[in-house]
């Protein structure tokens, strides 16, 4: 592994009924390893959740280590995140805020960004570290989403749970 590379795997889980999402990441370089997970509200759709997961993961890592002049490699199973984040489009609303924040962070720290798309939810792969990490992120993102969703549904009463 190149010492200048920092690899971040991210994933999201989304509930279309409550508009909540869970995000998770697992990240490493040649020495350090990090992981994190969180939930979010008022997310419009699953593709937005995947984009927010990537941006949040990079932001979180930037608070733990100096990414200046590093080569950050994002690994995501969401092709929509790769396409949007590599495009010149800023999007609208929260997407615009997220992309602008990412661009400011990237330009401020002068790191390069590479986004790799990998096939997700495919159990025909050989069991590799990449599969383990994708499964880990998927599981943690679902836990975050379900915990928040259940709390919202419980506080909304029995009619909301139908």
Question: pLDDT tens across 84-94, in order?
Answer: 999 999 999 99
Tens of each residue's pLDDT in the chain, 162 residues: 678 999 999 999 999 999 999 999 999 999 999 999 999 999 999 999 999 999 999 999 999 999 999 999 999 999 999 999 999 999 999 999 999 999 999 999 999 999 999 887 555 445 565 688 999 999 999 999 999 999 999 998 765 544
Distance (Å, rounded) from C-alpha 156 to C-alpha 62? 37
Interstrand relation of 20-28 and 33-40 (parallel, antiparallel or unpaired): antiparallel
Which letter does DSSP use for residue 19 in this model?
A: T
Domains in the chain with CATH codes? 5-161 (3.30.420.10)
Q: What is the pLDDT of residue 129?
A: 59
């Amino acid at each position: 592994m190149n010492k200048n590379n920092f690899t971040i795997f991210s994933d999201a889980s989304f509930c279309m009924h409550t508009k909540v999402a869970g995000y998770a990441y697992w990240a490493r370089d040649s020495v350090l390893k990090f992981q994190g997970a969180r939930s979010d509200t008022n997310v419009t759709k699953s593709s937005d959740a995947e984009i927010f997961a990537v941006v949040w993961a990079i932001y979180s890592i930037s608070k733990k280590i100096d990414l200046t002049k590093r080569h950050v490699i994002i690994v995501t199973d969401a092709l929509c995140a790769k396409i949007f984040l590599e495009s010149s489009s800023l999007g609208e609303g929260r997407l615009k805020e997220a992309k602008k924040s990412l661009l400011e962070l990237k330009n401020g720290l002068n790191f390069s960004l590479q986004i790799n798309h990998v096939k997700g939810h495919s159990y025909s792969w050989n069991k590799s570290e990449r599969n383990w990490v994708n499964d880990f992120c998927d599981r943690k993102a679902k836990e975050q989403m379900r915990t928040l969703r259940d709390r919202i549904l419980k506080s909304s009463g029995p009619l909301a749970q139908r």
